[in-house]
Structures are given as structure tokens and as C-alpha cells.
Structure 1
Amino acid sequence: MFASAKETQMNAYVALPRSINTGKRKVLKEDLLGVAQDLGFKEARTYLASGNLVLWGDQPGGVALEGRLEDALEARMGLRTDFMVRSAAQLKVIIDGNPFAAEALDHPSHVIVNFLKSPLPDEDETILRAAVSGPERFAVGACELYLDFPISIADSVLDRDWKKTKRSPVGTTRNWNTVMALAGMMGG
């Protein structure tokens, strides 16, 4: 287990890029670590090939860090994509607030957190609720959606209908196994 941000006196962040390593948008681990180095982070680690990046340093987080990561990736690789950044404390709140905790124990790869760039507007929540016609469920957090797909994500009407609305907010999804692994990397 890695040292926590408190133990190292550094801020810890998870940076989650949107839609990389799908199709032609390939970003190697070395490139992501290079982006972190370009921004002056003292330590960085990746998890899996979907671009999960854990950073430690004394830089501030939030929207400013998201923008810096987006600019640095574009400068390094010519690829522009959104990043969703959460501090260790924010990730802990997300984990503690999971309304599908029992389901996460039963089928963690089918419990999803969609990390959003901004809070979900009420009208988008209404559209999403109307798209639910199967066993899928969701709950809205501060800047995330929690989704439970008890049967199959691939066959989900919710996911398909939501994408048809063209109102899907900027965000990126990670399953519960990944969320917990990232928290563990951050020392949580």
C-alpha cells in the first residue's frame, strides 16, 4: 500500500481521463506519467489501461488541475480529452456515499460511478429517470452518478436510451472494483 497524502504531507488526487484507450485514442502509461512529471508532481502511478492516474504533490486540485492536465496531454500528444479530478477526501465521500453498497459487495463490476465534470442538472436527471425501464438503478451525488446494473451493462436500456438523448453530461465511468483500487492506491 502506498503512503497516504497525510503521511507524505502532499495532496493526493485521482485524475480520470475521458475516453482514452478506446479506438484510436491510445495513451500509454509512460505518456500519462510524463504528463504528471510535466506538471511537477512528485509522484504518480497508473492503474489499468483506461488512464487512471493517481498523483501526489503540493499543487492545488479541482477545475484548475483538470485544465492543466487537459492542456499537458494535448501539448505532449496532440490529444484533447476531459479529465475528472477528485482529491483523496472527495473520493472517500464518494465511497462512503454509495447508495448501492450491498450491491457493490455482491456484483462490484456492475456498480458504476460516473465521475462528472459538473453537477447533473435537474432536467437531465428527469430524462435519465424516464430512461429507466429495466432493473437498472441510479442515484445522483454531488458531481457523480452511481449506477447499479444487476443483470448486464451491455444489455442496459438505461445506458442506451441515455446516450440517445445527446444530453449525457461530460464524465467518465469506473466500476466499483476500480474505484476501490484507486482509493487503496491513495492510501484510503
Structure 2
Amino acid sequence: MNRYAALLRGIMPANPNMRGEKLRGVFEGLGFASVGSVLASGNVVFGCAETDVPALESRIQQALNAELGIGGGTIVRSRDELRELVDSDPFPGLTHGRNTYLTATFLKDRAGGAPPEPPAALAAAVRIVGYDRAAGAVLAVIDNSVSGTTNHMTWLETVYGKDITTRTWLTVQKVSAKL
């Protein structure tokens, strides 16, 4: 049995259709085993025998849309991919905190590669640490004490399109631990 994490885009916990129990129900209805949710931000872990990740992403997204009206986007990563990412310690010596967010932006299209340097308007607020090809993740440090950090996501969408989703490093670690 393979273990996976589904990282869902556009989840708003205040929406009753996007709460953990309903999300888990969709995954259980698809026949996945040992389904669990992590936090309330669209992270679902599960087990299945399938190995075709793009097919899994499509199947999950179709079910979420049909059953709960969730059209955001689904990105799936394996337990091994997330563990290797966490074990690589891409933020050595840094601590996620109120003013400094350590983030991982997962790309559906892993061939997207590392982004270009952020535009000058973001240079004071965003530092790209690297790109983890195996996990398809852009790793960044965001300085929340500087205004304009929300433009980071807008910039990433101009580089990669909307088939991306960002998690804090703490969330990535929690998801990996639950797998």
C-alpha cells in the first residue's frame, strides 16, 4: 500500500463542504484506506495501491468537484517525496515565525523548475531558497514584516499558473509526520 498526501488548493474551513470530515468522506468513498486530515487547510493523507499520480490527482479532483463543489485543485505527493524533502532540511538555521514564514509551494507540473529571481518589488520580502525537483516544490522565506508579501503568490501564479499550492514549512512537516 502506497501512502500519499493530497494538498488541496482553495480550501476555506469556514465553508461546511470543505471541512475535514466531508473531505475525508470523499477520499473514503474513492476506496482509499487510512484516510486522515491534517489541520484545516486542505491536507488529506491516505493509502492506496495506485501509483499513477496524475490519474490520482484527476480522480480526486473530479470527486471533490462532483460531491462537494470544490474546484480548486489537487496536488498529490508520496510519503517518500515528502519525507525526503523534510529530511533535506532546506531551511538550515531558520525558524518559522510570525514575521518570517518558511514556505513550500508545490507545483502540479514538476517540470516547471526553479523560478526566476523575484521581481524587484518583492526582493525585500521574498527569498527563494531553492527548488526541490523530487517534491516539485519551490522553497522560500517570506519576511512578513515587509509590506507586499501577498504579492508573492500572485508572482508565483504568473510564473507557474494556478496549478500550485503553498504550505508553511510547519504544515509540510506535520503532513509528512502523519503519513
Q: 1:11 touches 1:87 (CA, 8 Å); kept in 2?
A: yes
Residue 12 of structure 1 aligns with an amino acid whose one-letter code is: R
Q: TM-score if structure 2 supplies the norm length? A: 0.82
Aligned to 1:163: 154
Q: 1:17 touches 1:82 (CA, 8 Å); kept in 2?
A: yes
Aligned to 1:93: 84
Matched, 1:107 2:58: no
Unmatched 5+ stretches in structure 1? 1-9
Residue 174 of structure 2 aligns with an amino acid whose one-letter code is: A
Q: 1:114 touches 1:145 (CA, 8 Å); kept in 2?
A: yes
Q: 1:112 touches 1:147 (CA, 8 Å); kept in 2?
A: yes
Q: By how many angstroms is 1:92 displaced?
A: 1.5
1:125-164 to 2 correspondences below 5 Å: 125-126=115-116, 128=118, 132-134=122-124, 136-138=126-128, 139-142=130-133, 143-149=136-142, 151-152=143-144, 155-157=147-149, 159-160=150-151, 163=154
- Identity in percent: 28
In the alignment, the residues of structure 2 paired with residue 153 and residue 168 of structure 1 have an alpha-carbon distance, to the nearest angstrom, of 24
Q: By how many angstroms is 1:97 displaced?
A: 3.3
Aligned length: 172
Q: Which has the higher helix share?
A: 1
Query: Alpha-carbon deviations, 1:120-178, whole Å to 9, x = none?
Result: 646x82263655421531122211100112x3177345x51661585142211111111
Q: TM-score if structure 1 supplies the norm length? A: 0.78
Residue 79 of structure 2 aligns with an amino acid whose one-letter code is: A
1:64-79 to 2 correspondences below 5 Å: 64-79=55-70
1:131/1:61 CA distance change after superposition, 3 Å: farther
1:39-54 to 2 correspondences below 5 Å: 39-54=30-45
Q: By how many angstroms is 1:66 displaced?
A: 0.6
Matched, 1:59 2:68: no
Q: Aligned to 1:116, which of 107, 112, 135?
A: 107
Q: 1:127 touches 1:162 (CA, 8 Å); kept in 2?
A: no
Specify the SS of the correspondent of 2:154: helix
1:32-43 to 2 correspondences below 5 Å: 32-43=23-34
Unmatched 5+ stretches in structure 2? none
1:130/1:155 CA distance change after superposition, 3 Å: closer
Residue 144 of structure 2 aligns with an amino acid whose one-letter code is: S
In the alignment, the residues of structure 1 paired with residue 75 and residue 121 of structure 2 have an alpha-carbon distance, to the nearest angstrom, of 25
